[in-house]
């Protein structure tokens, strides 16, 4: 009978690959099983199923074997993606069965769990012995960490998913049926009974208890008759869910308890034993059922869906009931016949932000498991202070964990470590090579490093007044209980410390918030240049406030609700919001609606929005529509260009403690910059370049007595920086080009006209060449030279097809040309014509 | 004086009391001190309920009054803060005005809040006339159950949106009294629409009388069909649509705006459209077709506030406060200045706030100077504070800006001033560079290169001193001066270096 049943594979767990721990599992599995499915001859007719009022299937003769408790039954989970397998069953008897669908040590667990609060459970020590080969000791100081622990005859290892008791009802349930009762006959299982699972209520039904009895497991979705009636909305009297027989307590399986949140599911992250009292502990990562999330159960949630959270807890091992199996969708679809404890997890749920994130699909590369282990190790070190890691043991642990990790993640299936990001601590951290660290920095190198624009200065001199004003503005706005929205417009030429001043003010404020002097606020920083389009600012603001990323239209709608109407969008709402918009002028659209909206919100009651706008343009508000400048208010702050004393102070503060510059050199650089632009960035760049020049000079000329940057270096740096590149180009062009340029300057002097033709220039060149004994190169070559100079934009010329009639014009002042060509060694006579 | 002070009088209160007293006339100092003994915390509530108007009427005199000194003993006593004085309750009734102390955070906060734009006053003063016209229009429409359209224009900050909010409430109240069905109101700020046509779906969203139209037609079509068919019994409900910043609806073909106004002309339309915008002639310019259909919207203009109006509004806002923070002539100068410049109420409020902040900083500074000083001044915002705030707002920053420019940029400005001295309006950058080089050469300064020169011109453009036009080539960009030449001369004449250049 059994050999002919099409449901042979039922007992084979498809997800279990034959691995080491599978072998291990065998040891505690119940010896064998006899898979039986009832062989009914009637063909499967789902359409013929009809609703009957009188379902009294319990009376029907079911041949129930005597040893019912030992009987195995098969709960078939059936889902549309997983067509039932039709294979012969005879090979199954040899196969090990999955532990959870077999007789499991439930009762034992029960006993244990009842004594769960006693510090030591008696059978632990002896268990420890016989599995010493599986347990890797990492270190025995205070805690001993394991990759695998045998507990109550069940092996738990990192990455396993388990049921965990909720503390409060640890003793509430007297029994834990491994297999659920049939919803109709209320008998659990039956020797040769296949149980069919309803896709809606997850209830189990014996095939033969159904009306009409089914011989085979139907294809596709199957919904029990009760649910069908419920769904169709028919009169409820037509079909009554059968009441359980008197006196029989309706036992619930763990799966039912979990889904009604009487149990928890969790994934084991770490296993350890406290050496002091010998208690086993695990660190678990919780799963959550959809009902427990903030959005509740959604229509698209599957019945067996769970969410992996980023919530961790350390619990005692006693709380663990037994294994369950949380799988990724792909494996879940295959695992239709794996018993009752299979769950699906596709998304990770962030308990703080209430956001969902799809878990990364599993890619099991060996290359990164090492790295992951490192990350883990750090985590462990962070968690427990007493723990000491020993270097020599680590290697073996690592190797072990690598194999185990690969294994467990395949088995656990829900996640690879790749999908995990908790905060930013590891992002961008790079190991600094050893040789760099031992290198002793010279003063000049230190100076170069500290003068880099990217280096954040420790203090900001010369902007105290402005910073005070900003601080007063923000404090005055947010300190009130009822925060009043305001705007401030900060303007100034580039390189005058606008953004950095605001940011340092915000940093100070943050410290004050932590100290409790200022009420908390949320700070959103936006750079207009980084927005793909001005409208995108809405999504950026919304994401910063709520943690969700939505399109700008929806974001605008939500922000309008929040600021204009005072509705809440996130949980951080009652806090005032400070919005810093750098490069405000880039938000100006054609009808300026973006700026209007942003500046209109602070004028609304309950907006609690403070806008700080930064731009270069002094008169931006005046350039905007009057309605916008009216809303912008009158709070302006001007960052003027630095004068030379300020620049000097800025550079000296940066170089504080580094003796690399002569005082006069700094003064020279700052005076030069202050005369032209007052841009601090440029002053720093000049000094840095001067340090480089000095470095080079000192390396080539070892005999120099002073190791400082002197005026000459600064001068050279300024020459490089301020002198336009065209001079360099003109100095290095070919001989004929130089003659060509000289002829043009000469022509300009003679005629006084800016524009000349190629014809005339060529004539001049020929006459010049004649008088100075140069060979006249010929028209073709001259034309080519003219075109080349035109390409470099040293001269402006018309397209070449006009040949000799094309008009030419110098692109730079003739003085520059004269300056560049004056001291030419090859052609000293050029100076005569300039 | 010490004898009078008694066991528990507060010197602060004491001082204020005596100050107030002098204004009122001659009374014995004894009575005075007793009167002023009261709890600070409940003073606000107490006083506001009594006669707050008084606080406005006598602020000027009060400041002029010299402040009597209190002895050190009193201060010590005060620090103990024995507030449970039986005299207090008796004193309360007599106390008309509480003191104003700019150092008191609570008071400062309250005044700032009263001056904040977002705090809508309970009644909109100085706009009664316009408001009446609008609500009469709405009422007449509702009475006759016919559609109509209204266009409201006015400069920014003249209370348009605020008045509309009030009109809306009035209309609802009036409808309740008159027994008419309460009108539905849709107020839309057109800047918050992502698409101009979204306004129709917004209107429709409020207008769903449970009917399900076929999903294929657009919201506009649905609205049109809704208003062109005879309505059932429930349709007597009017709908008021307030479209703020209506000019954002102007598209190239003016379709949306036109259709919106056309909704009111449909035979069974029941909507009252109120459009709000700045432009005075929006309806004439963009809706010529409406004129021919004889459904041109009625136009109500909100004129810029005059100085009396601004003064009144400011007083109205401050009248709710139990203390006097502003000198009345300070408010007046603010009103005068603002009304002369723009008549923008938002600006007036900002100026007042900024004057208040100046006072606050001053008060804090005086604390730092003499923290234990026996004499504590209770200053109100006076003329000089207000003038400082006004100058911060309205003063042209050109002179300061030019004076703080780097030297080379000053030379450029100087050469530009020379270049545009004649009738010439603009020049190219190359020409300006030539002038700049000339000045540099004459005073033996190494000139900056042409690229650097262009950069500096861009910075000056940002500062609003020069105006650069776009051109294909950097050298060919036209430059024109945006500030007055006299300003430049004035700013640069201080510097000896430029004295020769400008002649």
Whether pTM > 0.80 for this model: the answer is: no
Residue with tokens 């809303």: A631
- List of E strands, B353-500: 427-428, 466-468, 478-481
Q: Structure tokens of B295? A: 């459904």
| Average pLDDT for A641-670 | 88
> Which candidate, A306, A344, A321, places its Cα nearest to that of A164?
A321
What distance in Å separates the CA atoms of residue A101 and residue A16, rounded to the nearest whole number?
14
Q: Structure tokens of A800? A: 């070449």
Distance from CA of A472 to the nearest CA of B (A): 10
Contact yes or no for B408 and A485 at CB 8 A: no
Residue of A nearest to B251 (CA): A591
Sign of the torsion angle spanned by Cα atoms B91, B93, B96, B102: positive
Contact yes or no for B118 and A596 at CB 8 A: no
pLDDT at A580: 92
**Over 80: is that where the pLDDT of A141 sits?**
no
When pLDDT is cut at 50, 70 and 90, the band that residue A177 belongs to is: low
> Which candidate, B210, B235, B206, B233, places its Cα nearest to that of B219?
B206
Average pLDDT along chain B: 73
Q: Structure tokens of B204? A: 């429709």
List of chain B residues whose C-beta atoms are within 8 Å of the C-beta of residue A593: 191, 248
Residues facing A155 on adjacent strands: A150
List of chain A residues whose C-beta atoms are within 8 Å of the C-beta of residue B459: 493-494, 616, 677
Nearby residues of A640 by Cβ (< 8 Å), 6 or more positions away: A492, A493, A496, A678, B401, B404
Contact yes or no for B455 and A677 at CB 8 A: yes
What distance in Å separates the CA atoms of residue A153 and residue A119, rounded to the nearest whole number?
19
pLDDT at A291: 80
List of chain A residues whose C-beta atoms are within 8 Å of the C-beta of residue B463: 493, 617-618
pLDDT at B237: 73
When pLDDT is cut at 50, 70 and 90, the band that residue B486 belongs to is: confident
**Which whole-number Å values give the CA distances from B2 to A119, B376, B470, in the listed order?**
75, 17, 77
Residue of A nearest to B119 (CA): A605
CB B99 within 8 A of CB B376: no
List of chain A residues whose C-beta atoms are within 8 Å of the C-beta of residue B347: 630, 634
pLDDT at B382: 83
> Which candidate, A359, A376, A378, places its Cα nearest to that of A368?
A376
**Over 60: is that where the pLDDT of A831 sits?**
yes
Residue with tokens 């530009």: B416
Which among A484, A597, A629 has the least Cβ separation from residue B112? A484
| Average pLDDT for A760-764 | 89
Query: Over the stretch B255-271, which tens digit does the pLDDT of each residue have?
Result: 788 888 888 888 778 88
How does DSSP assign B432-472, residue by residue?
HHHHHHHHHHHTT-PPPPHHHHHHHHHHHHHTTSEEEPP-S
What distance in Å separates the CA atoms of residue A267 and residue A409, rounded to the nearest whole number?
11
Residue of B nearest to A619 (CA): B464
What distance in Å separates the CA atoms of residue A369 and residue B42, rounded to the nearest whole number?
68
pLDDT at A757: 87
Q: Which has more pLDDT, A215 or B296?
A: B296
Query: Over the stretch A31-57, which tens digit does the pLDDT of each residue have?
Result: 444 444 444 343 433 333 343 344 444
Q: Structure tokens of B79? A: 């620090």
pLDDT at A703: 73
List of chain B residues whose C-beta atoms are within 8 Å of the C-beta of residue A636: 392
Nearby residues of B163 by Cβ (< 8 Å), 6 or more positions away: B124, B127, B130, B131, B134, B302
List of chain A residues whose C-beta atoms are within 8 Å of the C-beta of residue B450: 724, 812-813, 816
pLDDT at A482: 66
Contact yes or no for B116 and A593 at CB 8 A: no
Sign of the torsion angle spanned by Cα atoms B199, B205, B208, B212: positive
Tell me which of A199-208, A404-413, A723-732, B296-305 is least confident: A404-413
Interface A-B: count of C-beta contacts within 8 A: 132
- Name the phi and psi angles at A324, rounded to 5: -135, 175
| Average pLDDT for B89-117 | 64
Q: Does a cis peptide bond (omega within 30 degrees of 0) precede residue B318?
A: no
Q: Three-state secondary structure along A161-185?
A: EEEEECHHHCCCCCCCCCCCECCCC
pLDDT at B451: 80
List of chain A residues whose C-beta atoms are within 8 Å of the C-beta of residue B455: 677
DSSP-derived secondary structure letter, B229: S
What distance in Å separates the CA atoms of residue A393 and residue A386, rounded to the nearest whole number?
17
What distance in Å separates the CA atoms of residue A695 and residue A210, rounded to the nearest whole number?
91
Q: Which of A813, A816, A820 to mutate to test the interface with B (most CBs of B within 10 A)?
A: A813
Contact yes or no for B452 and A676 at CB 8 A: yes
CB A668 within 8 A of CB A711: yes
Burial class (CB in 10 A: 0-12, 13-18, 19+), A429: exposed
Q: Residue A654 in 3-state DSSP?
A: helix
User: ∠B433-B439-B444 over CA atoms, to 5°?
Assistant: 120
Give the ranges where A601-643 is alpha helix by DSSP (H). Answer: 620-623, 626-632
When pLDDT is cut at 50, 70 and 90, the band that residue A706 belongs to is: confident
Q: Which of A620, A639, A676, A816 to mutate to test the interface with B (most CBs of B within 10 A)?
A: A676
Relative orientation angle of helices B429-442 and B407-419, to the nearest 10 degrees:
120
When pLDDT is cut at 50, 70 and 90, the band that residue A272 belongs to is: confident
When pLDDT is cut at 50, 70 and 90, the band that residue B493 belongs to is: confident
Contact yes or no for A593 and B452 at CB 8 A: no
Query: Over the stretch A93-129, which tens digit does the pLDDT of each residue have?
Result: 444 444 444 343 434 434 344 433 444 444 444 444 4
CB count, 10 Å around CB of B364?
13
Question: Which range has highest mean pLDDT (A91-100, A355-364, B383-392)?
Answer: B383-392
**Over 50: is that where the pLDDT of B33 sits?**
no
Which among B120, B245, B405 has the least Cβ separation from residue A641? B405
What distance in Å separates the CA atoms of residue B496 and residue A628, rounded to the nearest whole number?
41
- Name the phi and psi angles at A178, rounded to 5: -70, -35
> Which candidate, A651, A641, A645, places its Cα nearest to that of A616?
A641
CB A366 within 8 A of CB A279: no
Q: Which of B118, B347, B434 to mutate to test the interface with A (most CBs of A within 10 A)?
A: B118
pLDDT at B370: 53
- Name the phi and psi angles at B148, rounded to 5: -165, 165
CB B465 within 8 A of CB A641: no
Q: Which has more pLDDT, B45 or A805?
A: A805
Query: Over the stretch B439-460, which tens digit does the pLDDT of each residue have?
Result: 888 888 888 877 888 888 988 8
DSSP-derived secondary structure letter, A199: T
Share of chain A above pLDDT 90, in %: 3
Contact yes or no for B346 and A633 at CB 8 A: yes
Average pLDDT along chain A: 70
pLDDT at A265: 85
Which among B191, B397, B459 has the least Cβ separation from residue A596? B191
Give the ranges where A346-463 is alpha helix by DSSP (H). Answer: 366-383, 391-412, 434-438, 443-451
| Average pLDDT for A179-205 | 65
CB count, 10 Å around CB of A488?
22
Distance from CA of A793 to the nearest CA of B (A): 11
Nearby residues of A388 by Cβ (< 8 Å), 6 or more positions away: A139, A141
CB count, 10 Å around CB of A719?
11
Residue of B nearest to A631 (CA): B346
**Over 80: is that where the pLDDT of A507 sits?**
yes
List of chain B residues whose C-beta atoms are within 8 Å of the C-beta of residue A597: 191-192
List of chain B residues whose C-beta atoms are within 8 Å of the C-beta of residue A600: 189, 191
CB count, 10 Å around CB of A576?
22
Burial class (CB in 10 A: 0-12, 13-18, 19+), A401: buried
| Average pLDDT for B296-317 | 87
Q: Structure tokens of B89? A: 């309750």
Q: Structure tokens of B304? A: 């810029």
CB A408 within 8 A of CB A362: no
Q: Which has more pLDDT, A571 or A347?
A: A347
Burial class (CB in 10 A: 0-12, 13-18, 19+), B267: exposed
Residue with tokens 């309250």: B110
Nearby residues of A750 by Cβ (< 8 Å), 6 or more positions away: none
pLDDT at A51: 37
Contact yes or no for A634 and B409 at CB 8 A: no
Q: Residue A509 in 3-state DSSP?
A: helix
* Complex ipTM: 0.73
Contact yes or no for A603 and B109 at CB 8 A: no
Contact yes or no for B464 and A617 at CB 8 A: yes
Q: Structure tokens of A615? A: 């731009």
Relative orientation angle of helices B450-462 and B407-419, to the nearest 10 degrees:
80
- Name the phi and psi angles at A64, rounded to 5: -100, 125
| Average pLDDT for B211-224 | 67
Burial class (CB in 10 A: 0-12, 13-18, 19+), A653: middle
Contact yes or no for A619 and B464 at CB 8 A: yes
> Which candidate, A257, A259, A268, places its Cα nearest to that of A320?
A268
> Which candidate, A348, A319, A324, A332, places its Cα nearest to that of A421?
A348
Query: Over the stretch A214-237, which tens digit does the pLDDT of each residue have?
Result: 666 666 666 777 766 666 654 544
| Average pLDDT for A725-735 | 84
What distance in Å separates the CA atoms of residue B34 and residue B30, rounded to the nearest whole number?
7
CB B134 within 8 A of CB B242: no
List of chain B residues whose C-beta atoms are within 8 Å of the C-beta of residue A616: 459, 462
pLDDT at B246: 85
Contact yes or no for B451 and A600 at CB 8 A: no
List of chain B residues whose C-beta atoms are within 8 Å of the C-beta of residue A604: 118
Q: Structure tokens of A650? A: 């800025």
User: ∠B221-B224-B227 over CA atoms, to 5°?
Assistant: 150
pLDDT at B72: 41
Distance from CA of A571 to the nearest CA of B (A): 24
Nearby residues of B116 by Cβ (< 8 Å), 6 or more positions away: A484, B349, B353
Nearby residues of A234 by Cβ (< 8 Å), 6 or more positions away: none
């Amino acid at each position: 009978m059994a050999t002919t049943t099409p449901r042979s594979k039922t007992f084979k767990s498809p997800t279990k690959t034959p691995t080491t721990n599978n072998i291990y599992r065998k040891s505690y599995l119940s010896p064998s099983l006899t898979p039986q499915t009832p062989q009914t001859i009637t063909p499967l007719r789902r359409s013929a199923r009809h609703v009957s009022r009188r379902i009294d299937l319990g009376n029907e003769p079911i041949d129930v074997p005597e040893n019912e408790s030992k009987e195995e039954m098969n709960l078939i989970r059936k889902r549309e993606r997983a067509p039932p397998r039709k294979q012969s069953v005879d090979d199954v008897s040899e196969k090990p069965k999955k532990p959870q669908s077999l007789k499991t040590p439930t009762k034992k667990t029960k006993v244990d769990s009842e004594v769960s609060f006693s510090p030591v459970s008696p059978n632990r020590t002896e268990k420890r012995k016989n599995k010493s080969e599986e347990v890797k000791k990492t270190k025995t100081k205070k805690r001993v960490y394991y990759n695998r622990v045998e507990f109550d005859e069940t092996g738990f290892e990192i990455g396993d998913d388990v049921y965990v008791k909720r503390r409060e009802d640890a003793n509430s349930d007297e029994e834990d049926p491994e297999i659920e009762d049939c919803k109709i006959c209320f008998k659990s299982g039956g020797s040769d009974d296949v149980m069919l699972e309803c896709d809606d209520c997850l209830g189990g039904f014996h095939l033969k208890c159904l009306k009409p009895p089914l011989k085979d497991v139907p294809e596709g979705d199957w919904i029990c008759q009760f649910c069908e009636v419920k769904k169709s909305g028919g009169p409820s009297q037509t079909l009554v869910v059968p009441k359980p027989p008197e006196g029989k307590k309706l036992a619930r399986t763990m799966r039912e308890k979990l889904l009604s949140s009487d149990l928890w599911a969790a994934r084991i992250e770490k296993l350890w034993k406290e050496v002091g009292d010998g208690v086993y502990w695990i660190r678990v990562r919780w799963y959550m059922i959809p009902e427990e999330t903030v959005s509740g159960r959604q229509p698209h949630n599957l019945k067996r869906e769970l969410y992996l959270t980023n919530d961790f807890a350390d619990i005692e091992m006693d709380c663990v009931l037994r294994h369950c199996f949380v799988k990724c969708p792909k494996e879940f679809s295959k695992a239709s016949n794996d018993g009752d404890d299979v769950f699906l997890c596709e998304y990770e749920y962030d308990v703080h932000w209430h956001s969902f994130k799809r878990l990364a699909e599993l890619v099991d590369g060996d290359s990164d498991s090492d790295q992951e282990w490192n990350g883990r190790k750090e985590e462990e070190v962070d968690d427990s202070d007493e723990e000491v890691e020993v270097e020599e043991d680590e290697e073996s642990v690592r190797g072990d964990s690598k194999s185990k990790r690969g294994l467990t993640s395949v088995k656990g299936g829900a996640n690879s470590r790749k999908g995990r990001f908790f905060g930013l601590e590891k992002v961008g951290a790079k190991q600094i090579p050893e040789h760099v660290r031992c290198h002793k920095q010279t003063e000049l190198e230190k100076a170069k490093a500290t003068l880099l624009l990217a280096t954040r200065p420790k203090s900001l001199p010369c902007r105290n007044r402005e910073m005070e004003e900003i601080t007063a503005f923000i404090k005055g706005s947010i300190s009130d209980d009822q925060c009043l929205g305001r705007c401030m417009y900060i303007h100034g030429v580039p390189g005058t410390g606008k953004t950095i001043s605001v940011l340092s003010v915000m940093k100070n404020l943050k410290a004050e918030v932590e100290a409790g002097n200022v009420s908390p606020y949320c700070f959103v920083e936006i750079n207009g240049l980084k927005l793909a389009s001005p409208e995108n600012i809405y999504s950026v603001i919304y994401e910063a406030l709520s943690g969700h990323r939505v399109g700008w239209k929806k974001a605008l709608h939500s922000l309008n609700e929040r600021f204009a109407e005072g509705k809440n969008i996130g949980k951080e709402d009652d806090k005032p919001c400070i919005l810093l918009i750098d490069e405000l002028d880039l938000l100006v659209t054609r009808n300026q609606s973006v700026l209007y909206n942003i500046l209109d919100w602070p004028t609304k009651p309950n907006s609690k929005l403070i806008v700080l706008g930064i731009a270069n343009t002094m008169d931006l508000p005046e350039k905007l529509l009057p309605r916008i400048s009216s809303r912008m208010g009158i709070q302006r702050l001007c960052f003027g260009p630095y004068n030379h004393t300020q620049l000097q102070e800025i550079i000296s503060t940066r170089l504080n403690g580094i003796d690399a510059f002569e005082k006069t050199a700094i003064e020279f650089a700052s005076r030069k910059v202050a005369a032209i632009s007052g841009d601090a960035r440029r002053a720093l760049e000049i000094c840095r370049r001067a340090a480089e020049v000095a470095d080079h000079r000192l390396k080539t000329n070892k005999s120099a007595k002073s190791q400082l940057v002197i005026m000459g270096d600064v001068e050279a740096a300024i020459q490089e920086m301020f002198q336009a590149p065209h001079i360099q180009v003109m100095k290095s062009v070919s001989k004929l080009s130089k003659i060509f340029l000289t002829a043009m300057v000469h022509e300009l002097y003679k005629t006084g006209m800016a524009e000349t033709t190629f014809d005339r220039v060529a004539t001049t060149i020929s006459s010049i060449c004649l008088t100075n004994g140069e060979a006249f190169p010929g028209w073709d070559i001259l034309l080519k030279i003219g075109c080349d100079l035109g390409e470099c934009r040293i001269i402006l010329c018309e397209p070449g097809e006009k040949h000799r009639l094309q008009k030419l014009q110098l692109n730079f002042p003739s003085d520059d040309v004269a300056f560049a060509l004056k001291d030419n060694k090859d052609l000293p006579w050029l100076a005569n014509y300039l | 004086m010490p004898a009078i002070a008694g066991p528990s009088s507060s010197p602060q209160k004491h001082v204020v009391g005596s100050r107030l007293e002098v204004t009122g006339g001659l009374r014995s100092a004894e009575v005075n001190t007793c009167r002023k003994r009261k709890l600070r915390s409940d003073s606000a509530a107490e006083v506001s309920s009594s006669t707050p108007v008084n606080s406005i009427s006598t602020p000027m005199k009060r400041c002029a009054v010299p402040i009597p000194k209190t002895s050190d003993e009193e201060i010590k006593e005060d620090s103990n803060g024995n507030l449970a004085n039986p005299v207090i309750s008796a004193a309360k009734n007599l106390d008309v005005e509480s003191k104003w102390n700019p150092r008191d955070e609570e008071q400062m906060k309250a005044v700032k809040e009263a001056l904040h734009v977002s705090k809508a006053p309970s009644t909109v003063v100085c706009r009664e006339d316009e408001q009446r016209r609008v609500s009469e229009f709405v009422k007449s429409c509702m009475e006759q159950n016919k559609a109509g359209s209204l266009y409201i224009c006015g400069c920014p900050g003249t209370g348009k949106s605020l008045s509309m909010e009030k009109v809306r409430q009035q209309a609802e109240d009036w409808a309740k009294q008159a027994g008419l069905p309460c009108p539905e109101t849709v107020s839309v700020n057109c800047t918050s629409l992502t698409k101009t046509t979204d306004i129709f779906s917004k209107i429709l969203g409020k207008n769903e009388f449970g009917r399900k139209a076929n999903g294929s037609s657009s919201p506009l079509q649905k609205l049109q069909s809704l208003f062109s068919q005879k309505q059932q019994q429930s349709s007597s409900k009017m709908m008021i649509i307030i479209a703020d910043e209506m000019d954002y609806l102007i598209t190239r073909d003016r379709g949306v705006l036109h259709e919106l106004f056309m909704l009111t002309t449909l035979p069974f339309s029941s909507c009252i459209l109120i459009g709000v915008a700045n432009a005075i002639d929006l309806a004439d310019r963009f809706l010529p077709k409406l004129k021919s259909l004889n459904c041109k919207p009625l136009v109500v203009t909100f004129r810029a506030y005059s100085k009396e109006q601004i003064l009144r509004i400011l007083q109205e806002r401050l009248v709710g406060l139990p203390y006097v923070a502003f000198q009345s002539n300070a408010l007046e100068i603010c009103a005068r200045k603002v009304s002369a410049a723009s008549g923008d109420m938002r600006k007036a409020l900002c100026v007042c706030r900024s004057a208040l902040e100046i006072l606050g900083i001053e008060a804090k500074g005086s604390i730092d100077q003499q923290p234990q000083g026996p004499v504590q001044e209770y200053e109100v915002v006076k003329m000089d504070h207000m003038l400082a705030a006004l100058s911060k707002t309205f003063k042209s920053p050109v002179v300061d800006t030019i004076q703080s420019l780097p030297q080379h940029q000053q030379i450029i400005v100087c050469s530009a001033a020379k270049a545009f001295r004649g009738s010439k309006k603009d020049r190219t950058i190359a020409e300006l560079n030539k002038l700049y080089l000339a000045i540099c050469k004459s005073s033996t300064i190494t000139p900056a290169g042409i690229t650097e020169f262009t950069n500096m011109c861009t910075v000056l453009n940002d500062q609003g001193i020069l105006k650069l036009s776009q051109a294909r080539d950097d050298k060919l960009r036209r430059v024109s001066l945006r500030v007055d030449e006299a300003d430049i001369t004035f700013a640069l004449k201080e510097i000896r270096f430029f004295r020769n250049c400008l002649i």
